Amino acid sequence: MNCEVCQLKELDVEYFEIGEVLRCILHTIFFHRALGLVRPKDVDLELFEITYVQCGDAELEKKVDEKIDQFIDRVEKHPNKKNQICLSFFEVKNKQATWFTHKVEHLYWEQWYINLNVAQHPKPQSGKSHHSKLVLDPGESASDERNARRATLESSLHEVLFQIIKFVNEKKDHIPPIPNMEGVSFPYEITISSSSDSAFGMDMFKRMLQTGQPTMLS
Amino acid sequence: MDFQYNNNHNEHGRNDQIVSQFLLKTLHIVLESRVPYIRPNGRRGNLSLGSQVRKSDKWFNLALGERPTALDSLNFWHRNLMEPMIIDIILVQEMPGLGQNGSGYGALVETVIERWVVQYEYSRASQSHQSSESYKKTYKKSIILLRSLYTMMRLLPAYRAYRKLSSKGKACGFDIVYKVSSFSAPVTRSEEQVMKPYSFIPVEAQHGRLSVSVKYRESLSDFNLETSASLPPEIITDYVGSPATDPFRAFPDHKVATSFPVREIPPPQRPHSWSSGGPFMYNQSPPAHHSSSGRYDLSSSPTSYDVYGQRTQNYRPPTHHSFDDSPPFSPSPPTYLSSGGNYMQSRLRSETAPVSIPNPLITTPRYLSPNLSDPNRHSLPPMSPRSTRYEVSSHESPSVIRSLKKSEMSRIGDLSSASGSGSANHYSPSHKISRDNKDDSGRFSGLLSSSGSPRIGFSRSSSRLSLQDELDDIDFSCPFIVDDVDTCDSPVSQSGIGVKQGKKSQDAAVGALVRMLRTAPPLRQDSSCCSDHVESQSNTSGLFMSRKTSDALEELKAYTGIKHLILSKSKDTKQQHLYSL
């Protein structure tokens, strides 16, 4: 079974926008991958005029929030870097237990890369961002600039969601059989990496060969 | 050989079931996120995790909550799975300026802001060399498609309008209605240009593919949806109501207004398309509705009528008929026009949950026989000067008294029997009790809604709901888990049983109604057309104080005279025949 990879469009976000943006993207992906019975839950973003859908699983919501907190911590520690969250879905294959270890293999069948470019200053009051790609017009007030940037991000986030929809509809054959479960039906893991890591590429390699933890979540 | 045949048959049945449920689910998803009043309980909420999910809601593993009754009509309407289902989401706004009547009120402008096309594209070419897993794959892929659809509904521009309408109700100055049809009403070129298309990747099915696509307006800024209504809502304190409404009901409040009308009136002329009016009337002040609603009614787009000639009297549109129906639909268009929006309000309200139905002797809706509108009107036929009328009308019947009794009974029969006097109750909402014999149920429901008791009303609605649950269970006898081996029985044979059970509950309700009405004291006085007991009964009822025994005896004499006359005439004609031979 091949592993389908989707690299989502890179987003330029402010520090305080990370949580909302990530929650929106991750839950939208999960909603398309929780193929057991779900009761969809609409959630409105506070910072943007976007409504996304959660699959109504409280456990999942909690885990996603934990991961987002981890990501924000990492961003604080590693500013000036491109940061990436990878959401992977895998199948658990039990290999033959050898005499010294019981091997559990994770076969990844889908990976989503969410690329965020976080503005350098973590303070929300700051209207300027050195890493902002917007051209600063000296005549423009800070609030106008912020609004423009916000509008750009909103439309980019829209595009990312459209991108997710397009991907899930185009590629369906690689999805394994749906187990008889409610809510999130496939085991998954969320990993965080930054561009400066020497293991940035190694992370991907590691995941391919991972024979480690039998737990489904990292 | 047989095994293979059975397998293919089963496969085919499953495929059809998936396709029809897919259409239903799609319609549900589209409407519940565009039309605020589609939800039965009127709320826009999320299902709680603990709530029990009905079996019918488990299809495609997407629990959306209670299905609006509007969707049930699709079962009858969309029997041909090959026909596309086209859902138009229409924005209705009142534009300030002179209306058509020159009344000074604005004209209602409707714009198609979204057009969804859901279709099972049948193609013989894609024959099944596929394995028996094919319908499972189709189901699995459909699950994903519907998830995407659900997500997309919240990303398109029209969702904002829906949210505004949901939260602000009448204050936002516009309304969203929908229209479902099996053909595409043409749009103007300018409209085409502003509509952006989007298509989901089709899902392969056994003999074709399921496709969902949309054309939507990218920007709704032209409609100035952000501003509130130009006309502030008015309350008419001395509103009396139209004759077609129930004057004894309280003025409807906003809460009731926003609930989705459960029972609707079928438009007899449009078999393959129905639309919603929603409680649009609530959004504007009643005077504005007065003319605008009428104009809207008359200026309905002719393209909304179906080209198919099939008559579906059993057709049940989900919503209010006001926008697109031709005048013949309403039995009394002038009444409708004169009352305008408030009429809509009270009519809509009258068709929601069972409420106390007024005493039929005191007030009657227009659609009942006019004889009943005056409780003091004598039950016995009029005096001899009018006897010729009866003679003319009943000369073909063997017995005058029998015919008189029949006509007598027919007047009362509107209330007490389902003898089918044809009391012209097309106006009444036909309830969806069973999947067949809808003519009977339609008339029956008409009787009830006009003059039934609250008890009967409740029992009817509860029987309807229980049957609906039964049908849902039959249709979806097991949760559709993709990788399980399904052993569900064929739904066709079982639905017949459900229908019969529904009929029984109907009959029980009819019987109860008949019993109730027969034992009602005032009516017993009316039904004494056999004059043997007139003497005794005329003394007992206060309503007939003016009636005297002598009057009754005179009338009896008139009857006897007429009878003899007719008998003699028939003898004459017989003799003439004999002579002519």
User: Which residues 174-203 of A have a C-beta within 8 angstroms of B?
Assistant: 175, 177-180
Contacts of A177 in chain B (CB under 8 A): 482-483
Where is average pLDDT lowest: A163-167, B332-336, B389-393, B523-527? B332-336
Which H or E run contains B163?
A: helix B158-168
Q: B42 is written with which tokens?
A: 């009127």
For B29, B187, B274, B336, the CA distances from B116, given in Å and listed in that order, are 11, 13, 15, 32
Q: Provide CB contacts within 8 A for A143, sequence distance 6+.
A: A127
Name the burial class of residue B331, with classes exposed (0-12), middle (13-18) and buried (19+) by CB atoms within 10 angstroms of its CB.
middle
- What is the interface size between A and B, counted as CB pairs within 8 Å? 88
Q: Are A168 and B141 inside 8 Å of each other by CB?
A: no
SS3 B373: helix
Distance CA B319, CA B276 (A): 5
Contacts of A62 in chain B (CB under 8 A): none
Q: A40 is written with which tokens?
A: 């969809």
Distance CA B293, CA B280 (A): 10
Nearest CA in chain B to A37: B61
Report how far apart the first and last C-alpha atoms of chain A are (Å, whole number).
23
User: Which residues 50-79 of A have a C-beta within 8 angstroms of B?
Assistant: 50-53, 56, 58
* B358-400 pLDDT, tens digit each: 454 444 344 434 444 444 444 444 444 444 444 444 444 444 4
Phi first, then psi, for residue B184 (nearest 5°) are: -100, 115
Write the DSSP symbol of residue B62: B
* A150-190 pLDDT, tens digit each: 999 999 999 999 999 999 999 888 888 887 676 678 889 99
**pLDDT exceeds 50 at position A104:** yes
Do residues B153 and B34 lie in contact, with contact meaning Cβ atoms separated by under 8 Å?
yes
Q: Are B61 and A180 inside 8 Å of each other by CB?
A: no
**Selected residue with higher pLDDT from A171 and B523:** A171
- The number of beta carbons lying within 10 Å of the beta carbon of residue B325 is 26
SS3 B130: coil
pLDDT band for position B117 (cuts 50, 70, 90)? very high
**Selected residue with higher pLDDT from A101 and B191:** B191
Say whether residue A151 is in contact with chain B using an 8 A CB cutoff: no
Q: B71 is written with which tokens?
A: 């969707």
Contacts of A49 in chain B (CB under 8 A): 160
Distance CA B21, CA B364 (A): 42
Amino acid A217: pLDDT: 45
The 10 Å CB-count burial string (b at 16+, else e) for B103-131 is: eebbbbebbbbbbbbbbbeeeeeeeeeee
pLDDT band for position B208 (cuts 50, 70, 90)? confident
Do residues B303 and B247 lie in contact, with contact meaning Cβ atoms separated by under 8 Å?
no
Q: What angle do CA B183, B189, B192 make, to 5 degrees?
A: 65
Distance CA A188, CA A27 (A): 13
Contacts of A180 in chain B (CB under 8 A): 481, 483-484
Q: Are B62 and A38 inside 8 Å of each other by CB?
A: yes
Nearest Cα to Cα of residue A24 among A129, A150, A160: A160
Contacts of A36 in chain B (CB under 8 A): 61
Q: Are B145 and A35 inside 8 Å of each other by CB?
A: no
The 10 Å CB-count burial string (b at 16+, else e) for A106-140 is: bebbbbbbbbbbbbebeeeeeeebeebeeeeeeee
Q: Are B46 and A41 inside 8 Å of each other by CB?
A: yes
Distance CA B225, CA B217 (A): 14
Distance CA A156, CA A50 (A): 11
**pLDDT exceeds 60 at position A85:** yes
* B92-106 pLDDT, tens digit each: 888 776 555 555 566
Task: Report yes or no on whether pTM surpasses 0.80.
Answer: no
Mutate to test the interface with B, among A39, A160, A175 (most CBs of B within 10 A): A39
